[in-house]
Amino acid sequence: MTEEPPIAVLADDTAYAEAVQLAVDSAAAYYADGTSTLDDDAYDRLARGIQAYEEAHPEAVLATSPTGKVAGGAVVGDVPHTVPMLSLDNVFGAGQLADWAISLERRLGRPVEAWSVEPKLDGLAISARYRHGRLTQLVTRGDGVAGEDVSHAIGTIVGLPARLAEPVTVELRGEVMMTASQFEAACLKRQAHDGTTFANPRSAAAGTLRAQDRPYVCELTFFGYGALCHSGDTSETAARLRELPHSEIMAWVAAQGAQTPAVTDVGGIVATTLEQVQERVEQIAAKRAELPFGIDGIVIKCDLAADQAQAGFGTRAPRWAIAYKLPATEKITKLLDVEWNVGRSGIIAPRAVLEPVVLDGSTVTYATLHNASDIGRRGLMLGDSVVVYKAGDVIPRVEAPVVHLRTGDERPIPIPQVCPLCGDEIDASQERWRCVRGRACRVIASIGYAAGRDQLDIEGLAENRIQQMLDAGLIADFADLFFLTREQVLGLERMGETSTDNLLAAIERAKAQPLSRVFCALGVRGTGRSMSRRIARHFGSMDAIRAADAEAIEAVEGIGPKKAPGVVAELVELADLIEKLIKAGVTMTEPGWTPPAAPGASAGAEASGASELPLAGMSVVVTGAMSGALEALTRNQMNELIERAGGKSSSSVSAKTSLLVAGEKAGSKRAKAEALGVPVVTSDEFAARVATYLQPDL
C-alpha cells in the first residue's frame, strides 16, 4: 500500500547532534503541553534519519539520542507503571509487514495462529486504573516506565466510565483523543478565551489532558486497546485476563462499559493469514477519510497470549506487535499568501497559497479557507506556520495556525473592501461574501458554464464568442442566446454562414434539454449537476420548484436546513432570467417524471415501482474509460443514466458505495472498492443491467 517515506539525511556528526537536539526538544514540547516545532511526519523522518546515522556511525551515538526510547526519551514520569507502557515499531508497506511477520514466526519457531488487526488511533496513550470497579487514577505513558498523574481529567473523557460493570481491580490501557466535533468545540472555547485556536486534534488532546488551570473544560474521548492486572494479583479476573486472546480481552473491556474501536466501522478483527491481515489493513485505510477521528496507521498484534509471552519485549516496543503507518494527511507548512477569487455566481472565496507540502501522496500548494469569517475565527496571519489537512478525495484545508511557532514577522491577512474582480461593493450579509453584481460580475463565466457540455450543451460557443456578443450588446445573460437572429450573429467578426447556422442550430437544440440541465445552467449556489438532477426529479417542473418554500426544498435528498433558504432566495433573484427562458420556449419539465404518491394507498404503489428499478437504493461510482454501449457517454451522462435507473451517482468510493463501474485504467478507485468489498462490474456488465434506460439521444 505505502512505501517507506524519505528520511532526514544527516551529513556529519554536527548535523547528527543538531538533529538529536531538535528531536528531543520537539518531543519534550509535545509531551509537556501538546506543542511541537515539528509535525508527526517530520518528527518520524527526523527520528529515522538519526537511527540510520547511528547504524552507520555507532561510535558517534549520543546518550541523549531518542532512538530506542519511549517518547523519544523526553519524558520522565513520577508514577511507576505496573507493567511498562511501550511504543510500537513501524512498517510502511506490505513487504515490510511480511518481513516482520516472517521474523516473528522464526523467533516463535512456528506460524502465528491468529492476528489481531485494529486502527492505530492518533491520540495519547494512558493507563486508567480501577480499584474494585471504580476509576481511581489516570496516568500518561511518560517514558514507558513511569508516567504523569492526570487524574484531574476524570469525568471529562467520553468512553471511560467512572465504574465498570464488574467490581474488579484492573488497568485499562488505551488512547485519549479528540473527535472532529470535540476539536471544533474546543477551538471555539479557546477562541472565546484568548483569540487563538488549537493546531490539530492531537495537540489539543495532549494539552487538554494535562491542563489543570484553564477557565474552560474541553471534552476528550477514550478508546481502549488492552487490559491487565498487577503481577501480584491472584484474583480469578487477573488469571483469566492473562490467558485470554487479545480479541477476547477487548470484548471483555467493552462489556465493562469502556469504549473500544469495535464501536466504529474500523473495529478490530482476528485474521488467520497474513493475506487477511493485509486485506483488513487496506479496508481500514480506505475508510480513514470518513472517520470522525484521526488514525495514523493500523496495529497488528499476535492475538494469542502464548504467542505474546514467547515473543516478549524489546527495550522500546513489544516484539509481538507492529504499527503499519499510513501516509501523512496532516502537516505543518507556511501560509505564503491568500488569493481572493470570484466564482461565476459572484461568490468571493479566499484560497490559501502554501509552501508546497506532500500530503496523502500528492503535493499540496493551495488549500481552502472557506470565507473571511473563517479566517478571523482561526486567527490566521500571513507567514504563519499552519496545519494543513488532506485525506482521500477531500480538498486540502487549512486547520489552524501553529501559534507557538510565530516569530513576530507574521502580518494580518488583507481583507478586500470591494470586489477583487470588478471593484464594486461586497454583500457581506452572509458568511460567504458576494459581489453585489452577482453573476454579472463574471458574466462570461456564467454564460460559458450554462452553455457547457453538461448543462445546455451549446457547441461552438467559445469564450471569445461570448465576449463578442456582450461587447455588441446582443446578450446580457445566457437566456438572451435564445433570441439571437441570424443577421445578428452573421454580423459578428469571423462568423460565416456555416458557423452561424451551426451555432444557431446548437442553441435551438438546447431548448429541448431536460429541466435538470436547465436548472443546472442557472448555477444556483450549492446545486451542481447531481443536485440539479435530484431537484428536477423531485419536483418535475420549474413551476413546482419556484412555488416551493424552504421546507419543501429541504425535502430533496442532500439539501439541509441551512442550504434550503438560500436556494429559495436565489430562485427569486433569478426570476427574470427564468421568465426569459420560459418565453424562449426552453423545456421546463423533467422527462419521465411521476408525481409523488398522495397519502394513502397509492404510496405503496409508488414505492413498489421505485424498488423495481435496477439500481434502486444503490450508490454507484463510475471510474475509468467506458467502452461498448457506454463509450460515447460523458461522465455526467453516466450519472444521469444511473439516476434514471433508480441509483445515486457518487464521485468517491466509500463503505457506503453499492457498486463500482470500472472501465479501462480504473486505477485507485477500483483498488479501494476491492479493499472495501464493494462489487465491481465492467462497462458491458453495467450496460446490460441498465439497458432499458439507455437513451440514444444521450
CB 673 within 8 A of CB 287: no
What are the φ and ψ backbone dihedral angles of 463, each rounded to 5 degrees?
-60, -40
Which strands make up the sheet holding 648-650, listed edge to edge? 648-650, 619-623, 659-662, 680-681
Query: In sequence order, which residues have a C-beta less than 8 Å from that of residue 270 and are 6 or more positions away?
Result: 114, 115, 116, 117, 245, 247, 303
Question: What sections of 196-338 are H helices per DSSP?
Answer: 201-210, 236-243, 246-255, 274-287, 305-311
Whether 120 sits among the annotated catalytic residues: the reply is: yes
Residue with cell 423495481: 612
Residue 617: Cβ within 10 Å count: 11
Residue 641 one-letter amino acid: L
**Backbone region of residue 144 per phi and psi (left: phi > 0; alpha: psi in -120 to 50; beta: other values):** left
For 385, phi then psi, to 5°, come to -80, 125
- Which 3-state string (H, E, C) describes 350-419? EEEEEEEEEECCEEEEEEECCCHHHHHHHCCEECCEEEEECCCCCCCEEEEECHHHCCCCCEECCCCCCC
Q: In the numeric block, which cell numbers belong to residue 376?
A: 478571523
Catalytic residue among 120, 648, 669, 672: 120
CA-to-CA separations, 9 to 50, 72, 326, 533, 676, in angstroms, rounded? 8, 19, 21, 54, 37
Spatial distance between the Cα atoms of 34 and 111, rounded to a whole number of angstroms: 41
Contact call for residues 128 and 222 (beta carbons, < 8 A)? yes
Is the Cα dihedral 689, 692, 697, 698 positive or negative?
A: negative
Query: Cell numbers at residue 24, please?
Result: 528531543
Cβ–Cβ under 8 Å, residues 452 and 425: no
Q: 3-state DSSP call for residue 194?
A: helix
Which residues are known catalytic residues?
120
